[in-house]
Structure formats: C-alpha cells, structure tokens
C-alpha cells in the first residue's frame, strides 16, 4: 500500500509500500513516532483517507474480499459491521449531542442486525462486558458526562456491536492514565480472544507493543523498516532505528537510574518530493556509502522477519551488543 | 497532625498545604468545595530532583502552581528558602522559581522569535543591556543544544523537541534556583524524550539545579528523580527515595501504579490486577482512606477512618496496613511489581489472600 498526498509544496509520500496481513485472533502492532505514517496506514485500510490522498495498493482484502473494488456504499456497509476502528481520543470521536445509547444502537440498526429492542439489549450487554456498572442508565448519558476511561470503554463496546472480525485501534490508550491503560488493554485482549478478532494496534508506546503484540511492524518515514514477532524485535532488533528506539526508553531494572539514555540524533526527513537511499541514513550511526544509493528494499531475514537495512544481520547484532554494553555500563 | 522537622537546606517546603476550589453544581446547584490538594508536607532539598506522580486529577498540577506562586494555598504555608512564598515579591518568586510546561506548542508565543522568547525573563527583570541579553541568549541556546542560527526563527519552524529546549532555555535565563517541570516530555516522541531527559540531567549536573518533576510516566520518574511523592486524590500517600518507592513500594496504590506501568518486555503479558471502580469523584471523596474502594487489600476500618500519616526519616506512608494497629507487617508480601528479578513470570505477589 502506498499513500501519496498532494500538498502545496509537492507530493508527500506519507506511506510507501506497506505490506501487512493479520489473521483471526492475532494482534499486529504498528509502532513508530509521530508522522511515520501509522495512522495513514490505518485510515487506508479502513477506506477513510482524506479525499486529496491518493492510495495505490495491489490489494487490500478482508476475508478474501478486495476492498479496493468496493463502492463507497459497500465500504460503508462493511465498516462498523465486519471491521471497526477505535480512535485515540474518544471525546472528539463520539458525537457530543447524542447519548451514548443512541450512538451505540445506530451502528446496530444501520447494519440491519435487528430492531431497536435488540440493539438496546446488545448495547447494555456490551457495556456490562466492558466493565461499566449501571449500564442501562449509562445509555441515556452524553459523552461529556463520562470520564476518559469510560468513554474509551464505550468506544470499544461500540466497535464490537456487530462482532467485527477486524478492529483497528489507533493509539487507544495514549490519552489515559497508566492504571486505566492497563485495564483498557486487558479489555481489548479479552474481547479479541472471545470473538477471535484480528486486532491492528497502532501505538508509539513500546511498553504497549511488548505486552500486546504477536507481531510488530516498525515504521519510519512512511516505510516499514522492520517486522517480526514481538520477541524477535525486542530481543534482536536488526534495524538501527529499532535499536535506537529501544535504547531511548529507560527500562526499569536494566537502565541504570540517572545514566545517559541513548538517543537518535537529527530529525525525521521531509517526505515531500523524491528521495533516494535509506531514509534513516542521516540519523544512523552505521551509515556507509551504499546507504545513499538506491532506495533500500525490505529484506526478508527469515519467515515473517524482515528489515530495511543494508547492514548484514550479524554485523548489526555485534554493534548492538557493544552498544548495549556501553549503555548499561 | 504531625509536622515534618524543618529540613536543612530545603529550598522549598510545603507545610500542611491545601487548596480548595469552589465548584458550582449546575445553574441552581449549591456551591461545593473541591479539595484539590490536602495536607501536603513536602520539602525539596537544594540540588535534588523531587518527582510527583499520580493519575490525572490527583492534584499534581495544582500543587505545582502553588509552588510557582501562581496560586495561593487555602491552608498551610509554602516556604521558599525559609520565607513564606506569599510574603515574597511576585517578581522575586518568578526570578527564583521557573516553570517548564508540558506542551511546548502552546507555551511559546508563536509571533516572537527565539531571541525574544528566551530573553523575555531578562527584559521583565531588567537584567543587562540589549547586547548582554543577546549574548546570554546565545549562551543559553548553546547550553540547551540549539543551533545559533535559529535565533531569529519562530516556534512554528521548530520541532517539538526543539521547542521544549527553547522552553528550558527560557526557564534558565535568569538562573533560577528551582525549576518546576510539569510533564516535561509527555508531548514528545520517545527518541526526543530521551534527548530532553539527557539535557535535564546534564543541566542539573552542570548548574546544580533543583528540579520538581511532575509526571505520570513512571519510567521517566524512576530515571530522573532522587525522591518521589505519590499523590492520590489530593494527598501525598507515599513518599520516599526513588529506590524505596520503586523497589519496595508500601502503599497498595503505589504498588498498583507500578504494576500497571508497561515495561517493554515481550515475555510478560498484561499486568493482572483489578482496580475495580474508576477514579473517585473529588467532589464526593470516599470516606476513610480515599483509595479504599479500589484497594485490593482494603479492610473494614479503611472505609471508616482515615489512616494516620506515618513518617520515618524521609519516608512517608498513609495506609492502615502500616498503622500502629497493624500487628503483622511480616505478612506483607515482598512485592516486585515490575519484575526487577528479570524472571519471565508474571508477578502476582501483590495479591494477598
């Protein structure tokens, strides 16, 4: 999948050649910093890109059905029913002038799942399921009457109203406190197990990735730079960007308190116009001449494991070891 | 109410500080008091980093605003270098205590150049001639790692990390004795967060600064702080050195908080705990210990009486488990909430029968 957005200064390559797949019951985490194209990828999958964005993709398929071939009406019928999205900020994504009951029932009614009474029953059932007490009375409340954690629970309950098989959650816990975050993630994981949903979780928080992901997609500047299972990516990061990210966060018990943290110097390159070579090379400690040549391709290292880096794996691992040794001291 | 002994070398001291806001309940509702901060006793020693942690709505920011002299306490007194802060001239407080705010996008004037922004405290306090100020600005920019060519840039031309560096340079312009950072890195990406944390550490070492850091990011707090105060619903419920709080948390709330922090360890799943109900309504705080409705170890007396504040040296805890009535402290588990042992098992040691 490639997404280009025309901006006054030229063409913005927001997302370039992203390939991803997620199976039933599986959690795929897309991780990266602001502006790396995580959200655009999600919107592309959901068919919710802004109009001036151009999406080019070989195929985006849900249960074998090609989403690119669908009309807008058919996409609308699918969204909310077979696939649903949970947004970062529930305050702005819930409609403030409708009660949460109205909003939850609308999804159900719209997709012709049943009548009002069933919709209400299902809404109450799901609100209880996501741990909201006095669910029936909550249905008459407006979003502003709920706390942030409750609103996010409502969003999740709304997303599973029609038992979708794919949930795309874009930073679902970023606006929440740590205690609430753990509860919400638990809830997502439990619901996913119960309904065997595929979950695409977008986050910048490596802690969330480590605890939730089956597989990880690390994105940088609109490209996938590394993929693998969570264990592989955290234990043996192969791309210097992933290595840098992991060194940036103080890890209790590993990082010496008060010791200097690793950091990635420089800033993300502008993605407007044409570029060549590796997009990370200006910030990379290991960059060499070849990095400035042709665009670097994603190289498969093992089944399900790939890295967009010219360094061979053994070499980068040695580097990593010496660097961690220094960092930990 | 016991009072902490006057600490030596304390640059800032809060003594039984409280702040109540009056909140109207709708158009005809009676006005009700909201106790945002209650009975806070804290001392910040010169040269140390004190962190204040807690969930949103626990009163951390209200406390910070009082420390900055921006808000008067309703009860108690805040002493700055031994003098009550409200008796010190406003300008002088501003000269000695400086803030760094959370959001570098909204805390910098978008229509001023970096030179104007960083020099503003110097202008306000009438320090130096224009040339001297300019020199000072250049010196500060170098100190915080900003290229000198950015001196005429506007905030909109900078990245988030650069903006936070500007905010730090501005805070340091008049050599404050204390810098209060309210969530200094939560608006930033992780790679930038690391740069800013490293910068704060360097500055602390070079300039012997004293910091109060307010954060909900426990990894950041553990990394930066010498001492930690944990707040819940306006009260400091536990306080101690960083090692005491993170290695041997005593209050069940601190334990839960540490458990729910997600460390990047893929061998561990999500933490298992039940906090039950949501954060309580501060307008209608629970009786007794404010944490009892969510506490996994709540006992009968927790809902009736407020636990006494137990102090031992610099340590403080407010919990019935540790009161004079608690006869069996040995039964308390040696909790190891974030798996410092490095074992891959999920710690469930904090759930006692």
C-alpha–C-alpha distance, residues A301 and B232, integer Å: 49
Q: Which two tokens stand for residue A226?
A: 């590394």
pLDDT band at B342 (very low <50, low <70, confident <90, very high): very low
Is A6's pLDDT higher than 90? no
CA of A66, closest CA in chain B: separation in Å?
33
Nearest 5°: the CA angle A78, A82, A84 is 90
Give the per-residue pLDDT at A92.
83
The answer to whether the Cβ–Cβ distance between A234 and B257 falls below 8 Å is no
C-alpha–C-alpha distance, residues B281 and B121, integer Å: 39
Is A224's pLDDT higher than 80? yes
Share of chain B above pLDDT 70, in %: 86
C-alpha–C-alpha distance, residues B36 and B18, integer Å: 8
C-alpha–C-alpha distance, residues B189 and A47, integer Å: 27
First-to-last CA distance in chain A? 42
CA of B252, closest CA in chain A: separation in Å?
13
CATH topology (fold) of A21-52+59-218: Rossmann fold (3.40.50)
Give the per-residue pLDDT at B325.
55
pLDDT band at B276 (very low <50, low <70, confident <90, very high): low
First-to-last CA distance in chain B? 33
CB-CB neighbors (< 8 A) of A206 in chain B: 190, 264
The minimal CB distance from B266 to the residues A148, A210, A262 is found for A210
* Closest-approach residue (CA) in chain B for A208: B262
* Tens of pLDDT, residues B121-177: 999 999 999 999 999 999 999 989 888 889 999 999 888 888 999 999 999 999 999
- Asked if the C-beta of B348 comes within 8 angstroms of chain A's C-beta atoms, the answer is no
CB-CB neighbors (< 8 A) of A264 in chain B: 191, 194
Helix-, strand-, coil-residue percentages of chain A, each rounded to 5: 40, 20, 40
Is A287's pLDDT higher than 90? no
The minimal CB distance from A253 to the residues B257, B259, B338 is found for B338
pLDDT band at B351 (very low <50, low <70, confident <90, very high): very low
HSE on the CB side for B149, CA within 13 Å? 1
* Tens of pLDDT, residues A18-50: 898 999 999 999 998 888 888 889 999 998 888
CA of A146, closest CA in chain B: separation in Å?
11
Q: Which two tokens stand for residue A30?
A: 């897309």
**Domain boundaries along the sequence of chain B:** 10-248, 255-353
CB-CB neighbors (< 8 A) of A251 in chain B: 219, 263-265
Give the per-residue pLDDT at B1.
40
Is B332's pLDDT higher than 80? no
CA of A117, closest CA in chain B: separation in Å?
28
Q: Which of A164, A225, A204 is nearest to A22 (CA)?
A: A164
pLDDT band at A328 (very low <50, low <70, confident <90, very high): very low
The answer to whether the Cβ–Cβ distance between B269 and A149 falls below 8 Å is no
User: SS3 of A58, please?
Assistant: coil
* Tens of pLDDT, residues B280-311: 778 888 888 989 888 888 888 898 888 988 98
- Give the dihedral sign, CA B103/A244/B347/B318: negative
Q: Which stretch of A57-71, A262-276, B261-275, B323-337 has the lowest confidence by average pLDDT?
A: B323-337
Residues B176, B167: contact at Cβ < 8 Å? no
* Tens of pLDDT, residues B41-82: 999 999 999 999 988 888 888 999 999 989 999 999 999 998
Q: What is the pTM of this model?
A: 0.81
The minimal CB distance from A249 to the residues B159, B190, B279 is found for B190
Q: In what order do the strands lie in the sheet with B83-84?
A: B31-45, B10-24, B75-80, B83-84
**ipTM of the complex model:** 0.79
Share of chain B above pLDDT 90, in %: 45
Mean pLDDT for A168-186 is 86
Mean pLDDT for A82-103 is 89
CA of B85, closest CA in chain A: separation in Å?
31
Name the superfamily (CATH) of residues B10-248: P-loop containing nucleotide triphosphate hydrolases (3.40.50.300)
Is B7's pLDDT higher than 60? no
Give the per-residue pLDDT at B190.
84
Is B106's pLDDT higher than 50? yes
Q: What is the dihedral of CA B109, B113, B116, B121, to 10 degrees?
A: 40
The minimal CB distance from B260 to the residues A150, A182, A204 is found for A182
């Amino acid at each position: 999948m490639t997404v280009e957005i025309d901006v006054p200064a030229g063409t913005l390559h927001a997302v370039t050649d992203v390939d991803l797949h997620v199976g039933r019951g599986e959690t795929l985490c897309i991780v990266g910093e602001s502006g790396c194209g995580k959200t655009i990828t999600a919107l592309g999958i959901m068919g919710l890109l802004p109009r001036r964005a151009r999406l080019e993709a070989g195929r985006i398929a849900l249960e074998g059905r090609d989403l690119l071939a669908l009309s807008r009406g058919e996409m609308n019928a699918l969204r909310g029913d077979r696939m649903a999205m949970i947004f970062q900020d529930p305050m702005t994504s819930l409609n403030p002038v409708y009660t949460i009951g109205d909003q939850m029932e609308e999804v159900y009614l719209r997709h012709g799942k049943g009548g009002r009474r069933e919709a209400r029953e299902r809404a109450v059932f799901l609100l209880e399921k996501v741990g909201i007490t006095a669910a029936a009375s909550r249905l008459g409340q407006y979003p502003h009457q709920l706390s942030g954690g409750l609103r996010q629970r409502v969003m999740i309950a709304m997303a599973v109203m029609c038992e979708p098989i794919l949930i795309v959650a874009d930073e679902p816990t970023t606006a929440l406190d740590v205690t609430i975050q753990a509860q919400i993630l638990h809830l997502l994981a439990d619901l996913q197990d119960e309904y065997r949903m595929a979950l695409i979780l977008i986050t910048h928080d490596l802690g969330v990735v480590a605890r939730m992901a089956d597989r990880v997609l690390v994105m940088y500047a609109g490209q996938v730079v590394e993929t693998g299972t969570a264990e592989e990516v955290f234990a043996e990061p192969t791309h210097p960007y992933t290595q840098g990210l992991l060194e940036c966060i103080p890890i209790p018990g590993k990082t010496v308190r008060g010791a200097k943290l690793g950091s990635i110097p420089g800033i993300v390159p502008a993605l407007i116009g044409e570029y060549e070579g590796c997009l990370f090379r200006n910030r990379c400690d290991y960059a060499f001449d070849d990095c400035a040549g042709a665009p670097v391709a994603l190289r498969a290292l093992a089944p399900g494991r790939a890295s967009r880096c010219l360094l061979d794996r053994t070499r980068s691992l040695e580097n990593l070891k010496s660097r961690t040794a220094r960092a930990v001291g | 109410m016991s009072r902490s002994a006057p600490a030596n070398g304390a640059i800032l001291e809060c003594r039984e500080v409280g702040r109540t806001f009056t909140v109207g309940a709708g158009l005809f509702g009676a006005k009700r008091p909201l106790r945002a901060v209650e009975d806070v006793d804290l001392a910040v020693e010169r040269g140390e980093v004190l962190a204040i942690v807690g969930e949103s709505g626990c009163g951390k920011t209200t406390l910070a605003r009082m420390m900055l002299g921006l808000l008067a306490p309703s009860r108690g007194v805040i002493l700055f270098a031994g003098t009550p802060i409200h008796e010190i001239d406003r300008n002088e407080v501003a000269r000695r205590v400086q803030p760094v705010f959370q959001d570098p996008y909204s805390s910098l004037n978008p229509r001023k150049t970096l030179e104007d922004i960083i020099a503003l405290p110097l202008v306000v306090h009438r320090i130096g001639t224009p040339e001297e100020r300019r020199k000072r600005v250049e010196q500060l920019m170098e100190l915080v790692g900003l290229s000198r060519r950015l001196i005429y840039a506007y905030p909109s031309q900078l990245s988030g990390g650069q903006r936070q560096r500007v905010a730090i340079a501005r805070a340091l312009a008049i050599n404050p004795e204390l810098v209060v950072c309210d969530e200094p890195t939560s608006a930033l990406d992780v790679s930038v967060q690391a740069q800013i944390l490293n910068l704060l550490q360097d500055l602390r070492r070079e300039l012997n600064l004293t910091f109060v850091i307010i954060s909900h990011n426990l990894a950041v707090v553990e990394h930066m702080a010498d001492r930690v105060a944990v707040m819940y619903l306006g009260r400091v419920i536990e306080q101690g050195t960083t090692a005491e709080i993170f290695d041997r948390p005593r209050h069940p709330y601190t334990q839960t908080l540490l458990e729910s922090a997600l460390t990047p360890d893929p061998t561990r799943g999500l933490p298992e705990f039940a906090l039950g109900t949501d954060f309580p309504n501060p307008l209608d705080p629970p009786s007794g210990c404010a944490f009892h409705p969510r506490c996994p170890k709540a006992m009968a007396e927790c809902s009736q009486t407020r636990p006494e504040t137990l102090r031992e040296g610099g340590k403080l805890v407010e919990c019935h488990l540790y009161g004079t009535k608690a006869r069996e402290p040995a039964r308390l588990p040696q909790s190891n909430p974030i798996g410092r042992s490095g074992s891959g098992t999920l710690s469930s040691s904090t759930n006692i029968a």
